[in-house]
C-alpha cells in the first residue's frame, strides 16, 4: 500500500524498527544499515527536509549523535516540533545538556498534545541541572 507520495517506500514497513523522534526512546535498530539506506534513497527522491530529519536519526544510530546533529544543523525546520525533540535527544546523547534543554523547551512550545508535553517534560527533568 503506497503512502501519500505514491511510493510504498515511504510507508512504515520500509523502516521497521524506527520510532517517532517525538517519543522518548525512539531508535533505529542499532547496527542495521537498512533504515539508513532507505532514508538515503528517500532523501534523494523527495528532497524533503522531514525525510532528511529521519535520515539524521538513522545516521546517528549508526555513526553517533554528532553525525546526526551535523545533518540536522543544515535543516530549516524551526516550526516543526519533531525537529526540536529529535535535536534535543541527539544533544542529550552527545552530553550537551544545556543545548538539549533549550531544544526540549522549544519542542514543548510547539507540542500539540498533553502526551507530548508530558513526554518532553519527563526528558527535561532527566537532564543534569543547569
Residue-level pLDDT at 85: 95
C-beta of residue 65 within 8 angstroms of C-beta of residue 93: yes
- CA dist 54 and 20 (Å) reads 9
Give the pLDDT of the chain (130 residues) as one tens digit per residue.
333 343 444 434 334 344 444 434 445 445 556 777 777 788 778 888 998 999 999 899 889 999 999 999 999 999 999 999 999 999 999 999 999 999 999 999 999 999 999 999 999 999 988 6
What pLDDT score does 33 carry?
A: 62
Whether residue 41 contacts residue 35, with contact meaning beta carbons closer than 8 Å, is answered with: no
Residue 23: per-residue pLDDT: 39
The pLDDT score that the predictor gives to residue 14 is 39
Domain boundaries, the chain: 31-125
Residue (of 45, 75, 46, 69) closest to 57 by Cα position:
69
H or E element that contains 79: none
Handedness of CA 32, 34, 38, 40 (dihedral sign): positive
pLDDT for 108: 96
CA distances to 39, 69, 129 from 110, rounded to whole Å, are: 25, 20, 23
CATH number of 31-125: 1.25.40.10
What is the reported pLDDT for 88? 97
The model scores a pTM over 0.85: no
pLDDT at 40: 76
Q: What is the pLDDT of residue 42?
A: 81
Amino acid at each position: 500500500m503506497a503512502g501519500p507520495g505514491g511510493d510504498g517506500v515511504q510507508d512504515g514497513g520500509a523502516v521497521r524498527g524506527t520510532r517517532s523522534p517525538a517519543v522518548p526512546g525512539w531508535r533505529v535498530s542499532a547496527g542495521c544499515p537498512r533504515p539508513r539506506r532507505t532514508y538515503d534513497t528517500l532523501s534523494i527522491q523527495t528532497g524533503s527536509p522531514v525525510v532528511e530529519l529521519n535520515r539524521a536519526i538513522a545516521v546517528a544510530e549508526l555513526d553517533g549523535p554528532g553525525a546526526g546533529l551535523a545533518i540536522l544543523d543544515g535543516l530549516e525546520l524551526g516550526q516543526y516540533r519533531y525537529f526540536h525533540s529529535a535535536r534535543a535527544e541527539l544533544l542529550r546523547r552527545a552530553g550537551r545538556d544545556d543545548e538539549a534543554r533549550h531544544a526540549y523547551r522549544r519542542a514543548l512550545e510547539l507540542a500539540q498534545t498533553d502526551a507530548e508535553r508530558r513526554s518532553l517534560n519527563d526528558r527535561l527533568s532527566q537532564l543534569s541541572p543547569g
